[in-house]
Amino acid sequence: MSDRQYILFNKPYGVLCQFTDDSASPRPTLKEFIDIPEVYSVGRLDFDSEGLLLLTNDGQLKHRLIDPQFEHLRTYWVQVERIPTEESLQMLRDGVLLQGYRTKPAIAKLLDTEPDLPERQPPIRFRASIPTSWLELKLTEGKNRQVRKMTAAVGFPTLRLVRVAIAHLSLANLNVGQWRNLTQTELQELRLKVIPRRLR
If residue 93 lies in a helix (H) or strand (E), which one and from where to where? helix 86-94
Residues 137 and 190 in one domain: no
* Residue 100 counted as domain residue: yes
* Residue 150 counted as domain residue: yes
* Residues 106, 108: Cα–Cα separation, whole Å: 6
* Residue 61 counted as domain residue: yes
pLDDT tens digit at each of 200 positions of the chain: 458 999 999 999 999 999 999 888 889 999 999 999 889 999 889 999 999 999 999 998 998 888 877 778 999 999 999 999 999 999 999 999 998 899 999 999 999 999 999 999 888 887 777 899 999 999 998 888 999 999 999 999 999 999 999 999 999 989 999 999 999 999 999 988 776 554 44
* Residue 34 counted as domain residue: yes
Residues 59 and 112 in one domain: no
Residues 61 and 88 in one domain: no
Residues 13 and 94 in one domain: no
* Residue 23 counted as domain residue: yes
Residues 50 and 102 in one domain: no
Residues 102 and 27 in one domain: no
Residues 60 and 142 in one domain: no
Q: Give how many domains the chain has, as a whole number.
A: 2
* Residue numbers annotated as active site: 46
Residues 127 and 151 in one domain: yes
Residues 80 and 161 in one domain: yes
* Residues 148, 90: Cα–Cα separation, whole Å: 16
* Residue 99 counted as domain residue: yes
* Residue 1 counted as domain residue: no
* Residues 142, 67: Cα–Cα separation, whole Å: 10
Residues 142 and 189 in one domain: no
Domain range spanning residue 101? 74-166
**CATH code for the domain in which residue 112 is found:** 3.30.70.1560
In the prediction, which pLDDT does 69 show? 74
Identify the DSSP state of 12: P
**CATH code for the domain in which residue 62 is found:** 3.30.70.580
* Residue 39 counted as domain residue: yes
| pTM for the model | 0.92
Given the DSSP bridges, would you call strands 97-98 and 169-170 parallel, antiparallel or unpaired?
unpaired
Instruction: Assess contact for 44 and 17: CB atoms under 8 A.
Output: yes
Residues 62 and 93 in one domain: no
Output the DSSP codes for 104-171: PP-EEEE-SS----PPPSSPPP--TTS-EEEEEEEES---TTHHHHHHHHTT--EEEEEEEEETTEE-
Residues 43 and 120 in one domain: no
